Amino acid sequence: MTESSKQPASSANATSTSGGAVPGPGPKRLQVDLSGQVALVTGASQGLGRAIAEALAAAGASVALVARNAGKLAEVAAGIRAAGGTAMELPCDVSKGEAVAGVVEQVVEKLGRLDILVNNAGVTRDTLLPRMSDEEWDEVLTTNLRGPFLFMRAASRPMMQQRYGRIINVSSVSGLIGNPGQANYSASKAGLVGLTRTVSKELAGRKVTVNAVAPGFIASDMTAALGPALLDEVKKRVPAKRLGEAWEIAEAVLFLAAPSSAYITGQVIVVDGGLIG
């Protein structure tokens, strides 16, 4: 049996701990064994993407890191390797079809297969609709929706060939309920949900699952820039009365990436502290 036709190892009991992604002592972590699997994470240079990449690596997957900033990618890769994991950096503009196809080809050629794709790369260009420029609309839709389409199209081919795959798209609650000042971002994330559900139906027969995770307000450099007063108002809107943490999104992705999640496809897991009910 050729390498591309082999099934990855089943889930076992290796504890997933995302290198530095979990602050202090916390709850017991999800246990998933991804040994022998290969994951590709876009937007992996910082924030949610970094936490997701570290969690997948800690679970035993070899991780291909994709983002525009080569320097930051190198830092993330170095951290994964220092923790005993395997990582490769692949700087790429996710909106360029030829570049995306080349990245997927490199991953399969150098790492032998591609089992998990996480489309996390995204940008915001917030402003009210009457003030939004064509460029602000196009940039967000191109990165947030065209990018995942390009990676899903390229990754689906090796996944269908090996008859195994996990595709996880990072959407947002903004794509489910809308958010003033984010017409472009909300549209891109809503479109990603539609893309997820459609492609899940196309690939299910080849044992490839396609799901989405929709984060709410997550602690990050972006939310910190809102300032203490506005953050306090945000927390009041969330029934859990706090912001989410990047590692909590990574855990949701890890769950969907597990071999044991084979019968879950076309779904959106909302991780928002109860914000949208």
Does 164 participate in catalysis according to the annotation? no
At a CB cut-off of 8 Å and minimum separation 6, what does 170 contact? 43, 48, 52, 118, 119, 120, 122, 212, 213, 215, 249, 253
Q: Please state, as a whole number, how many other Cβ atoms lie within 10 Å of the Cβ of residue 233.
A: 10
Cβ proximity of 171 and 212 under 8 Å: yes
Q: Which residue has the tokens 């064994």?
A: 33
Q: Which residue has the tokens 């570290």?
A: 54
Report d(CA 244, CA 237) in Å as an integer: 13
The tokens for 110 are 């150098």
Considering 185, 217, 247, 255, which one is annotated as catalytic?
Answer: 185
∠ Cα 53 57 60 (to 5°): 150
Which residues are designated catalytic? 185
